[in-house]
Structure 1
Amino acid sequence: MRFYYGQQMPLRILDEAEFWKHQEEEHTVVIRELVTGLEAPYVEALKKWEEVLSATHQQVVRYIESVIRAAYYIPEQLYQQVLQLVSYCLQQSLDFIKLCQQIKTESAAVSKNPTAKVVLNHIIRESEYFVGIAQVLLYENRN
């Protein structure tokens, strides 16, 4: 992500969050569909995550609409709310990564499925990419 967007930076990071929350939501389905015999607690956890990620995705979309309506002037309060949402998205991604790592290391069904391990590693890397973007933005705004 480029950091020369100036006033449009909130919109740019929201675009990233919108994309990655949707990706993570889809990843819950990919894991459930890919891993035959995935243990019930993981299936249930992934279904709950799908709902939570969908709700976050929709919240990000609402903020995108608000920032677009604000045009060239983004009130400080809205900007701070965007930063709080990005912080929430960051923590959510970290928690989702933990679940994916747990499934990868503890699931008997995954241990028998080399493709699932590769896909889980890919999903984890993608969420880590968003975490990196969000951390840089939040760090820069603390200075």
Structure 2
Amino acid sequence: MQFYYGQQMPLRILDEVEFWKLQEEEHTVVIREALDHLEEEYVDALKKWEQALSETHQKAVSFVESVNRSHYVRKQLHNQVIQLVTYSLDESMKFIELCRQIKTHSSATKDRPIAKTILDHIIRESEYFIGIARTVLYSNNRS
């Protein structure tokens, strides 16, 4: 992520949250479709995650609309954006935990290297977002 956006930086941050939450939401479907015979507990957990990630995605979209309409990003709105980034980071970390549980404990991944590859890819993508979110939060704490 580039940091030369100046006054538009909250939009850039929100673009990242919006994009990655949609990715994670889609990943819940990919996992359910790609892993034959996935245990019901994981299917149910993934469906709940799909809904939760969709809600976070929609919050990001709503904030984009708010920031877009503002000529000046007030401190309160900026703080709400930072709270959303913090929440999104934590959410991604918990989503990764579920992916790792599935990879380690699901019989649907046993002796199926492609299943583990898919999960590793999804984990890496969420970890990439976490890196972006941490950079934003670290930069915010320094200012």
Shorter-normalised TM-score: what interval? Answer: over 0.9
Q: Which residue of 2 aligns with 1:125?
A: 124
Which residue identity lines up with residue 111 of structure 1 in the other structure? K
Q: Distance in 2 between matches of 1:40 and 1:134?
A: 32
Q: Distance in 2 between matches of 1:111 and 1:18?
A: 33
1:64-107 CA distance string (max 9 Å, x none): 00000013x10010000000001000000000011001100111
Following superposition, the deviation at residue 112 of structure 1 comes to 3.0
Q: Which residue of 2 aligns with 1:6?
A: 6
Which runs of structure 1 show a deviation greater than 3 angstroms over 4 or more consecutive aligned residues? none
Q: Distance in 2 between matches of 1:110 and 1:35?
A: 7
Q: Which residue of 1 aligns with 2:99?
A: 100
Which residue identity lines up with residue 40 of structure 2 in the other structure? A
Q: Distance in 2 between matches of 1:128 and 1:111?
A: 24
CA RMSD of aligned residues (A): 0.7
Q: If the length of structure 1 is used for normalisation, what is the TM-score?
A: 0.97
Alpha carbons 1:35, 1:113 under 8 Å: kept: no
Q: Which residue of 2 aligns with 1:52?
A: 52
Q: Distance in 2 between matches of 1:139 and 1:111?
A: 39
Structure 1: unaligned runs, 5 residues or longer: none
Count of matched residue pairs: 142
Q: If the length of structure 2 is used for normalisation, what is the TM-score?
A: 0.97
